[in-house]
Amino acid sequence: MDLELSEHFTPDAWQMLNSFWHSLQERMKELKIANTQQTTILSGIEEFIHEFIEDYKDRERINFERTLELIQEIGSPSEILQAMDLPIEEKIIQDRREADIKTATVDFREDYSKTTQIKCQICEWLNASDSKFCENCGKRIIKQREMKKPSYIPQEAIDHPYIASLSISYLILITLGVVFHYLRNSPSNPTRLSHERFIEILHDIPIFILIPTIIIGLFSGYVIDHSFLEERRSKYDTQLSHFQDYYSLGIILTLISLWLLYVYLPFSINYNEALVLVFSLAFFANGIAIWINKRNLDNRSAITTSYLDLLKFTKAIDNYNYTRIRDINIAGSVVSFVISAVLWSSYDYSILGVTAWIAFIPMLLMLINGIALMNYYSWSHINRFIAAKSLQ
């Protein structure tokens, strides 16, 4: 007897509830409870869940914490079986109490490190390693590869590639800037290039790398943004839509800034300098937007749900997948910043000093945000485990 209610829960909440449900049925089979009795109790509990969903008036899907409360209101399998007045041996009850705790703390992120499973790249459901079709959404699993726990990258960084990629890119920017500055300015360094030769080498790079990078980045943003317009506003949480709007706004502000610089700056500015300024301003705007939306990003269930809905409703997902879109964004951001760092270090700071510091500030904000998210992830995981122990 399966629960067909996944659309009302976030993926992690659903996995926990489904695990609980199957665990209860397995316990009943193990104790050889009559089928009629099983059906009666399970139907009653299922009805309880339906009424719980009916009462849950928020537009969002039911998150992990509320689902944990639901399971607590239903009771643990041990309590349910005890209430049925079955001649259960005390030892079995005691042994199973520990299993209940384990079941209740099923966290699909925790499973990454313990078992080899395949993650559906549509709905991120963990399936058995030999599965061809996802048991949650029914889609064919596109890539048969093992998902190991990304212990060095918090889940939020995977869910929010902009933060991860921008933070990494800024770090590369600063590092390369320092390295190239040293190479350029150290008179005793035998590898030092002359200023003119350095500029000559760099001059053609932006045209062939930077412009495709901008196009790829904008196209990715367009795919994510455009295909989600109606659904996100009519049915689901709009926090993700605000995030994407701010990102698009950042791109627009950048283009306007470039035009203003060319027209209104009192000193002359050449092509390469303008590009460095463009990227600095673009990511400054992004940094501000991400910081403004920090509280939205903390609402992981809404963001994760929105991304999964995106995967369902975006036609492009037949050819792309979420991981690929993320990788494109990360690659584009990293390449852009590498070029920016090289350009930045090749000029006097009299012109670019201010913009360099402007670019530095959002990096700091995002690193702080990233650390905060990592802490949130860690504490949320611990809190769930402690809360789940109360099922005992």
Binding site for other proteins (CB under 8 A): 8, 24, 40-41, 43-45, 47-48, 50-54, 56, 72-77, 79-80, 82-85, 390
Residue 176: which residues within 8 A CB-CB, separation 6 or more?
A: 338, 341, 342, 345
- Least Å distance, CB 21 to other proteins, is 11
Burial category of 263 from C-beta neighbours within 10 Å (exposed 0-12, middle 13-18, buried 19 and up)? exposed
How far apart CA 129 and CA 135 sit, in angstroms, is 12
Half-sphere exposure of residue 225: CA atoms within 13 angstroms, side-chain side: 15
Q: Considering the complex, state which of residue 77 and residue 177 has its C-beta at the smaller distance from other proteins.
A: 77
- Least Å distance, CB 311 to other proteins, is 22
How far apart CA 190 and CA 80 sit, in angstroms, is 78
Distances, alpha carbon 227 to alpha carbons 54, 176, 233, 251, 307, in Å: 30, 37, 12, 18, 12
- Least Å distance, CB 33 to other proteins, is 11
3-state SS track over the chain:
CCCCCHHHECHHHHHHHHHHHHHHHHHHHHCCCCHHHHHHHHHHHHHHHHHHHHHCCCCCCECHHHHHHHHHHHCCHHHHHHHCCCCCCHHHHHHHHHHHHHHHCCCHHHHHHHCCCEECCCCCCEECCCCCECCCCCCECCCCCCCCCCCCCCHHHHHCHHHHHHHHHHHHHHHHHHHHHHHHHCCCCCCCCCHHHHHHHHHCHHHHHHHHHHHHHHHHHHHHHHCCHHHHHHCCCCHHHHHHHHHHHHHHHHHHHHHHHHHHCCCCCCHHHHHHHHHHHHHHHHHHHHHHCHHHHHCHHHHHHHHHHHHHHCHHHHCCCHHHHHHHHHHHHHHHHHHHHHHHHCCCHHHHHHHHHHHHHHHHHHHHHHHHHHHHHHHHHHHHHHHHHCCC
Q: Considering the complex, state which of residue 93 and residue 316 has its C-beta at the smaller distance from other proteins.
A: 93
- Least Å distance, CB 3 to other proteins, is 12
- Least Å distance, CB 59 to other proteins, is 11
Q: Considering the complex, state which of residue 39 and residue 189 has its C-beta at the smaller distance from other proteins.
A: 39
Q: Considering the complex, state which of residue 274 and residue 387 has its C-beta at the smaller distance from other proteins.
A: 387
Q: Considering the complex, state which of residue 85 and residue 130 has its C-beta at the smaller distance from other proteins.
A: 85
- Least Å distance, CB 321 to other proteins, is 29
- Least Å distance, CB 75 to other proteins, is 3
Residue 142: which residues within 8 A CB-CB, separation 6 or more?
A: 121, 122, 321
Q: Considering the complex, state which of residue 29 and residue 149 has its C-beta at the smaller distance from other proteins.
A: 29
Q: Considering the complex, state which of residue 136 and residue 314 has its C-beta at the smaller distance from other proteins.
A: 136
Q: Considering the complex, state which of residue 48 and residue 182 has its C-beta at the smaller distance from other proteins.
A: 48
- Least Å distance, CB 98 to other proteins, is 19
Q: Considering the complex, state which of residue 45 and residue 330 has its C-beta at the smaller distance from other proteins.
A: 45
Q: Considering the complex, state which of residue 378 and residue 390 has its C-beta at the smaller distance from other proteins.
A: 390
- Least Å distance, CB 89 to other proteins, is 19
- Least Å distance, CB 113 to other proteins, is 31
Q: Considering the complex, state which of residue 104 and residue 278 has its C-beta at the smaller distance from other proteins.
A: 104
- Least Å distance, CB 233 to other proteins, is 20
